[in-house]
Amino acid sequence: MNFYVEDENILKVLSNHDVFYVLGHYRKNEAHQNLIPEVLIDISKKIDLLISSGFDRSKIILDPGIGFGKKTPKESKNILANIEILKKSFNLPVMVGSSRNFL
Residue 2 is assigned to a structural domain of this protein: no
Range of the structural domain that residue 45 is part of = 8-102
Q: Say if residues 4 and 45 touch (Cβ distance below 8 Å).
A: no
pTM, rounded to two decimals: 0.81
Mean pLDDT for 2-8 is 60
The CATH number that applies at residue 63 is: 3.20.20.20
Amino acid at 50: L
Q: Say if residues 67 and 27 touch (Cβ distance below 8 Å).
A: no
Cα–Cα–Cα angle for 5, 82, 4, rounded to 5 degrees? 10
Residue 3 is assigned to a structural domain of this protein: no
Q: What is the pLDDT of residues 31-77, one digit of tens each?
A: 666 889 988 998 999 999 889 988 899 999 999 888 776 667 788 88
**What is the number of domains present in the chain?**
1
Mean pLDDT for 22-33 is 74
